[in-house]
A and B are shown apart, each in its own frame.
Chain A
Amino acid sequence: MKLLFRIGIVQMALAAATPAFCQVLQIQPQTITFPSSDPDTVPVVAAAPVQVSFVRGSGRGGSGSWSITVRADGDLTAGPAQIPIASITWVAAPSPPFRDGTLSSTVAQTLASGLGSEPNTRGSVTFRLANSWNYSAGTYTQTIVFTLTSP
């Protein structure tokens, strides 16, 4: 009985010595602006690149898979006028772990994914708007949410 007791204590001590992994996600800038452009000469409008950086520690549980997703809260709106959020796509580098995609308000789209720890990973994401004469004049806004998760 004493032997079992000691083993239990040792395992408990080992587990407690391994810290739970941590993860930090940063987005910069937090405002993505598309200037007005002539659809004939600028059919695709690019915003200034967004820097996505994240740290995912190597602690206990940090060896699993992870992903960064992005989801819009809805279409772009300016009063009663709307532009479908799917009009915005992005190109991201480096690939992997980043990947290109299209914004959606219904399904979170994967921006990056991987396995294990990421000591200090940075990516550049350039959002692009499909320009059109069909858009009503106005200033449209919408919020997008970046989420770093580990299953």
Chain B
Amino acid sequence: MTEAYIYDAVRTPRGKGKKDGSLHQATPVWLLRTLLQALQARNRLDTALVDDLVLGCVTPVGEQGADIARTAVLDAGWAQTVAGVTQSRFCASGLESVNLATAKIMSGMEDMVVAGGVESMSRWAMGSDGGAWVMDPRVNSGTAFIPQGISADLIATLEGFGRADLDGFAAESHRRAAQAQAEGRFARSIVPVKDINGMVMLDRDETVRPGTSVESLAKLNPSFEMMGSMGFDSTALDKYTTIEKIHHHHHAGNSSGIVDGAALMLLGSKAAGDKAGLKPRAKVRMCSVIGSEPTIMLTGPTPAVRKALAKAGMAVSDIDLWEVNEAFATVPMKTARDLGVSLDRVNVNGGAIAMGHPLGATGAIILGTALDELERTGKSTALATLCVGAGMGIATIIERV
């Protein structure tokens, strides 16, 4: 079978996902145009060699809707033969794009594919697109829907993670991100976003707070206590019958940040890379997705990782670097505990708690971050995994070449 290689990875910096965020004035298609043009320029890429743009976007409405992938291809001035598809696997969408691109290449159906994602959360708030899972009472009731924050608190309660444990993890995310920023570890991937005149709007991840500590985080109020007490806790506790109550320990400071951002990866077969005159940076060893219990929702990474490792004939110990999306502090903590991985090897340059989680893009971002770090440290294998809405998990294993 054909193997799929990663030739390049680019991303925008992540801007605070509010009205005063630096990317709020940039439309989502502008973010994609920026990255597509950068990808073309820095690889001197004949875009006609690219078959498809596979893009994740979780809230595809308004100016972010109507197959923004194809729109971006045209807007960026790429060859009109490059197709474009927009998909959503909720928070895993960015990595799903990479996995789909990999499958296309491995199957031999296509030779070169750009994969990634975009989300302007300051413009289209999470949930703006509705959906039967949440708003249709028949489905909501049947699946015992609760918001992710309640699920995160449920996991922390079951695992016995206290507020200080979670806050400690969050503070470390900021410390690592700040250090990585200071040492320029993201420099290879980040493409500054400039306005129509070339004036820089943002050139670094905006939400990193270097001085964050357990003490400073202790002041924040829990975010999900009120809605939990209104009924969601009861739904969770009807299913999880060994605990009497849910301790609401997650808050804005130990959960992923709401940000704007985009990311793209250029993938292709060996032959396609040769034809384009490109040198592969890594190859994709294996990808996986899996469904898990939807109410607790965020426990998918562990089974997804095990599935990918098994398919690849690898063991946990074969992975040098781990990226586990910091949707909530409890997720990487539980995943690492499940797998017996030291947190020293997980999210070594910080994660979404410090830098934010632009839903459709994050999967591609963290895989790119892992690739950069493998190269910086001379290590070989990395695994990126994310928890996913409605109970799913995704994983991708790469190996440097």
A binds B: no
- Interface residues, chain B, with chain A CB atoms under 8 Å away: none
- Interface residues, chain A, with chain B CB atoms under 8 Å away: none
